[in-house]
Amino acid sequence: MGEKLRAFREFRTRMNERILDGGTRETKRFWQLDGAVYRDGALSAKTKEMMGLVASMVLRCNDCISYHVLECRKHDVTEAEFAELFDVALIVGGSIVIPHLRHARDFLDEVLQEERTK
């Protein structure tokens, strides 16, 4: 497993547990709502994850980008689809998105490498 992917998964798991163990009812409700929003509905879960990735890139949140890259792969988003998602984020967000596009591509490459070695 690539170092970025391993570190992301470990940190996210550890901190989510820490936050939820001591979190308020409101924190726990938000966590539940966040998960529920990405389920199939009028829009497919795949479409929602792709939207989440674009929004995360435009909002410039690398942690969120990493999460949505992983979720998009769970929904079989292809490299060609990722390329178009990256284009949408770039055109909506402008050149400030470029560093986050680099992060997304690098993280995706690591995820794809892990998939190839399984």
* pLDDT confidence bin for 1, thresholds 50/70/90: low
* pLDDT confidence bin for 31, thresholds 50/70/90: very high
What dihedral do alpha carbons 53, 111, 75, 100 form, nearest 10°? 10
* pLDDT confidence bin for 29, thresholds 50/70/90: very high
Read off the pLDDT of residues 71-107 as tens digits, 9 standing for 90 and up: 999 999 999 999 999 999 999 999 999 999 999 999 9
The yes or no reply on domain 3-117 and CATH 1.10.1200.10 is no
- Check residue 93 and give its pLDDT: 98
Q: Which two tokens stand for residue 37?
A: 């929003």
Q: What is the mean pLDDT of residues 4-15?
A: 94
What dihedral do alpha carbons 96, 99, 102, 103 form, nearest 10°? -120
DSSP state of 75: T
The full set of domain ranges for the chain reads 3-117
